[in-house]
Structure 1
Amino acid sequence: MRLFKCQHCHQVLYFENGACERCGRHLGYLPDIGTLSALEPDGPSWIALADPRARYRFCANWEQHACNWMVPAAGDEAFCIACRHNRTIPDLSDPDNHRRWQKIEQAKRRLFYSLIKLSLPIPTAASGDPEPLMFDFLSDPAAGAPKVMTGHDNGLITLSLKEADDAAREATRDAMGEPYRTLLGHFRHEVGHYYWDRLVRDGGELDSFRALFGDERADYGTALQSYYDQGAPAGWQQGFVSAYATAHPWEDWAETWAHYLHIVDTLEIAGAFGIGVSPGITDDPALETEIRFDPHRVRDVQTLIDAWLPLTYAVNCLNRSMGQPDLYPFVIGPRVVEKMGYIHDLIHRSRPGQSKRA
């Protein structure tokens, strides 16, 4: 994630800001040029100071205080490039539903920021693509009916609204023994299943995937039940980024994919702040980093890992100093780096203008 600056008063801005705290101007995110812009009203549309030749409108969800992204005023799209993927949203007449949906949309926009920066395909239902990327955000039905399960099915990602309730989500995290559970983490994990379909299944990469992650043809339901009954095998940290990744090759891919997006996004914001790590008590290069590269564009995944590990050592210590749990409570072993490298290479080969594997 980048830092942004108000084009009118030069105040530092953050991705979710809807107004500049210094000059008070409305702000809108322009996904076509990837920047947050101060705005000036121009009749029914807006002039973006970052691109004053064009005219923009806010996404229709701006009126629900749920989106700060914009669309070209000359077009006929009511929703922005992120919101037009919504198939179902909750009943917004319920204030709790509305509040939780706003939090979900905030996390989803961060997901789409990454997908756009990585040039990944994001087809909508209107595109005619046989497997568009769509979202259902659902509240649990009345007592006695089946609960909403967060998951992915042929391009449709379902997210339970209760995941936006911090207390409920934390209770679930604790009950399941998970070190980490967030809305953004859900989005990154579930979209990983979608891109398995696009990049592996449809990309002719099944053999290479199976050689590294295992055979996904193993019965999924049986594998999950075995994981929930028995847990992860001993020594799983040597080859998997999380315990849940051991459940099935599809989950290994999705967990590794999510962590790859965690790393890329966090390294970008660390670089934007000019964060470097160089402990004065040692000259060990494994504990040092300066993030002077765009993590979306690097060719070798090892560049990401070499910056990520020292950064996590530092921020984990900062969190402990505040009595908080580690920011990144995971171990990345050589086998996990290999898996991340596989994902990294697939993403970069899929970008427009990049050559495919022979």
Structure 2
Amino acid sequence: MRPYTCPTCGQMVFFDDTACTACDTDLGFRPESREVSAVGSRDRRCANHDEIGCSWLVAEADEELCRSCRLTRTRPPAGDAAMTLAWAEAEQAKRMLLWQALGLGLDIEGATFDLKSGDVEPVITGHADGVITIDVREADDVVRTRMRERMGEPYRTMLGHFRHEIGHYLWMTLVDGTDHLAGFREVFGDETTDYAEALEAHYGSPDPEGWQDGYVSVYATAHPWEDFAETLAHYLHIRDTLETAGSFGLSVDGAHEALQPAGDVPTSRAAVDRMAIEDLVERWLPLTYALNAVNRSMGRPPLYPFVLAPAVIAKLGWVHELVTDTS
């Protein structure tokens, strides 16, 4: 998530800021240009600005909601402060997802989002025919930690949910019924195997022995669809984090040979698109080693608690080619 600059005073700001902390200039994000600018008298804020702090501006004269908020079909009931806060955090994660998709040239604006609360009705986070359902309760750290421990996951975030579920949507729009399907099956397996039976077997069995050799997570072993969604989510994690590091000029130079970078962290989409996945991973791994160590120094768990085996890197490479070919 690269930083922006306040157009009035030059203070560092971010795409979701609604005002500059240094000079109080009202700020808004313009998704069409992916730029943050001062809000002028002719600009229109998203109708969700007052309730959940949405920073995005509305370009179309006949629209009330911004490009991100109008993708939400269902929101939690109004009137409950805790649910409104959870909804606001879920929308912020969705804006981050859309911000990245816009930068990558990925069209995800055909997706529909149901942001519901399990405190009101039963909610299962998932994707079905272009509809992505998210339980906003997981914006609460306690709820999310409980779910992470129950599911045996080392990493679980609201943004991670959105990136995983959009992976299912992108499989539907970029892979299914296209020339990419045969290649997908070679790399990830036959997706026509019964999905419900696969999930039942996954949750009813111990973790497959040696799963780390071929999958980025245990959940990825459940079915080729989940393998693809998990891999794509990690690909989006990697690209966004590398862009953030590059925009801040971060480099990792250490005495240990594992911390010797393979080159500068790329800062532009075009530069990353031209790179082979092996080159990206060579820049990614030293950064994760350093960031994991920093987290441990603060008494926190590793920022990126995953191992990228050669087979996983090959899957990331397939996703990299898919994204750069179709975006």
Counterparts of residues 158-307 of structure 1 (less than 5 Å): 158-279=133-254, 281-283=255-257, 287=261, 289-295=263-269, 297-299=272-274, 300-307=276-283
Q: Which residue of 2 aligns with 1:21?
A: 21
CA distance in 2, matches of 1:115, 1:38: 23
Superposed CA offset, 1:107-137 (max 9, x none): 11000011111111234xxxxxxxx310001
Superposed CA offset, 1:221-267 (max 9, x none): 11111111113311111110011100110000000000000001111
CA distance in 2, matches of 1:178, 1:286: 30
Q: Which residue of 1 aligns with 2:46?
A: 59
Shift in Å, 1:202: 3.4
CA distance in 1, matches of 2:157, 2:258: 33
CA distance in 2, matches of 1:148, 1:82: 22
Q: Which residue of 2 aligns with 1:118?
A: 104
Shift in Å, 1:288: 5.2
Superposed CA offset, 1:132-170 (max 9, x none): 31000112266xx7x210000010000112112221111
Equivalent residue for 1:337, pick from 292, 306, 313: 313
Shift in Å, 1:292: 3.5
Higher helix share: 2
Helix, strand or coil at the partner of 2:273: coil
Shift in Å, 1:219: 1.0
Helix, strand or coil at the partner of 2:28: strand
CA distance in 2, matches of 1:175, 1:122: 31
Cα distance change of structure 1 residues 24 and 66 upon mapping to structure 2, 3 Å threshold: closer
Superposed CA offset, 1:292-331 (max 9, x none): 3325642222232111111001101111111110000000
Helix, strand or coil at the partner of 1:346: helix
Does 1:69 find its partner at 2:56? yes
RMSD of the alignment, in Å? 1.7
Q: What letter matches 1:99 in structure 2?
A: L
Shift in Å, 1:32: 1.0
Contact 2:242/2:266 (8 A) holds in 1: no
Contact 2:28/2:57 (8 A) holds in 1: yes
CA distance in 1, matches of 2:211, 2:260: 24
How high is the sequence identity, in percent, across the aligned residues?
Answer: 46
Q: Which residue of 1 aligns with 2:112?
A: 134
Q: What letter matches 1:350 in structure 2?
A: T
Shift in Å, 1:75: 2.4
CA distance in 1, matches of 2:261, 2:251: 10
Does 1:81 find its partner at 2:67? yes
Helix, strand or coil at the partner of 2:64: coil
Q: What letter matches 1:313 in structure 2?
A: Y
Contact 1:140/1:148 (8 A) holds in 2: yes
Contact 1:232/1:244 (8 A) holds in 2: no
Contact 2:49/2:55 (8 A) holds in 1: yes
Shift in Å, 1:286: 5.2
Counterparts of residues 316-331 of structure 1 (less than 5 Å): 316-331=292-307
CA distance in 2, matches of 1:255, 1:214: 14
Superposed CA offset, 1:259-278 (max 9, x none): 00000111111111100011
CA distance in 2, matches of 1:295, 1:324: 31
Aligned residues, how many?
325
CA distance in 1, matches of 2:168, 2:224: 11
Q: Which residue of 1 aligns with 2:89?
A: 103
Shift in Å, 1:204: 2.8
Helix, strand or coil at the partner of 1:277: coil
CA distance in 2, matches of 1:304, 1:260: 10
Shift in Å, 1:285: 7.1
Shift in Å, 1:65: 2.9
Contact 2:247/2:267 (8 A) holds in 1: no
Shift in Å, 1:63: 2.4
Equivalent residue for 2:324, pick from 331, 348, 355: 348
CA distance in 2, matches of 1:315, 1:172: 24
Cα distance change of structure 1 residues 283 and 151 upon mapping to structure 2, 3 Å threshold: closer
* TM value normalised by structure 1: 0.87
Q: What letter matches 1:291 in structure 2?
A: V
CA distance in 2, matches of 1:317, 1:161: 30
Q: What letter matches 2:35 in structure 1?
A: T
Q: Which has the higher contact order (CA 8 A, sep 6+)?
A: 2
